[in-house]
Structure 1
Amino acid sequence: MTQPKASQKTSPQIPPKVTGLAHLFAAARYSLGGFQRLIAEAAARQELAIGGAAIILLWVLGAPGMQIGAFSILFLLLLAIEALNTAIEVLTDLVSPEWSQQAKHAKDLGSLAVALLIGANTACFAIILLSLLN
């Protein structure tokens, strides 16, 4: 059997499917891998820093737990949408490495989803701050 040349790519082996408790641990590893990929994105790191600081500020200012909880849920949703946006970008670059209008639309729509949720987070944070000032 001959070895593939350095210029030839070999396909990675598809891992066997796991079930039961092993699947739970595998899913946790996949999620951790996704989080590691997500924080490689500057936008996600910025959102994580600002959102984390906002939660701490709400706690320091004495916001009720329900308000902090609601903001935290909205913030986690922002990170989830950022992860989906990153996945869209990765897949778009894979299937359309050259520029195309459809690829641009896909990336723009993912970016819009993130921007809308940033707006929702900002509005929620402002509403909570205003309620604390009254």
Structure 2
Amino acid sequence: MTIHAGEPRNPTIEPPRGGVLHVVDAARYSAAGSRRLFRETAARLELAAGIGIALAYLWTGAALWHWVVSAFLLALVLAAEALNTAIEVLCDRVSPEWSQAAKDAKDLGSLAVALLLMATGGFVLLVLFGLI
């Protein structure tokens, strides 16, 4: 068994717990995923852009629904970034050598993020220019 960077030395699989402990475990896994996501430069830049958007909205007096839609879109961007990162991690693990299939998977994940960034940016520009 090969140990890769970031993997525990003695990995164990914990059986799922039931009831409220399942919710606690799920929250812990989500927090670990969030910590992993924000090791990615792209995710940190997207969060910084979200802060910049919030400042611009404060400056321009954007309506509440603009804030809500923008927060939803930012959440979608970060969700896509998390899935893209998961795809990249899995591709690198399963296919450490170059392969067209791994490249295609990574490129498609990147496209998903780019499309959401364009939709978010378009919405924000429409708000900032007073078109909606």
Q: TM-score, normalised by structure 1?
A: 0.88
Instruction: Check whether the contact 1:67–1:128 (CA below 8 A) recurs between aligned residues.
Output: yes
Instruction: Check whether the contact 1:59–1:68 (CA below 8 A) recurs between aligned residues.
Output: no
Runs of 4+, deviation exceeding 3 Å: none
**Aligned mates of 1:59, 1:80 — CA distance in 2:** 25
**Aligned mates of 1:62, 1:70 — CA distance in 2:** 15
**Aligned mates of 2:81, 2:124 — CA distance in 1:** 19
Task: Give RMSD over aligned pairs.
Answer: 1.7
Match of residue 34 from structure 1: 33
**Aligned mates of 1:10, 1:115 — CA distance in 2:** 36
Q: TM-score, normalised by structure 2?
A: 0.89
Give 1:10 shift.
6.2
Match of residue 61 from structure 1: 60
Letter in 1 for 2:36: R
Corresponding residue pairs, total: 125
**Aligned mates of 2:23, 2:42 — CA distance in 1:** 29
Matching of residues 114-129 of structure 1 within 5 Å: 114-129=113-128
**Aligned mates of 1:12, 1:123 — CA distance in 2:** 44
Give 1:13 shift.
1.5
**Aligned mates of 1:100, 1:110 — CA distance in 2:** 16
Match of residue 111 from structure 1: 110
Letter in 2 for 1:110: G
Match of residue 3 from structure 2: none
Moved more, 9-18 or 96-105: 9-18
Structure 2: tracts of 5 or more residues without a match: 1-7
Give 1:60 shift.
3.1
Tell me the alpha carbon deviations over residues 63-98 of structure 1, each in whole angstroms, 9 at most, x when there is no partner. 000111111101110000000000000001111010
Matched, 1:101 2:100: yes
**Aligned mates of 1:113, 1:107 — CA distance in 2:** 10
Letter in 1 for 2:97: E
Structure 1: tracts of 5 or more residues without a match: 1-8
**Aligned mates of 1:121, 1:113 — CA distance in 2:** 12
Match of residue 45 from structure 1: 44
**Aligned mates of 1:55, 1:20 — CA distance in 2:** 38
Match of residue 73 from structure 1: 72
SS at match of 2:130: helix
Quick one: percent identity of the two aligned structures? 50
> Which one has the largest radius of gyration?
1
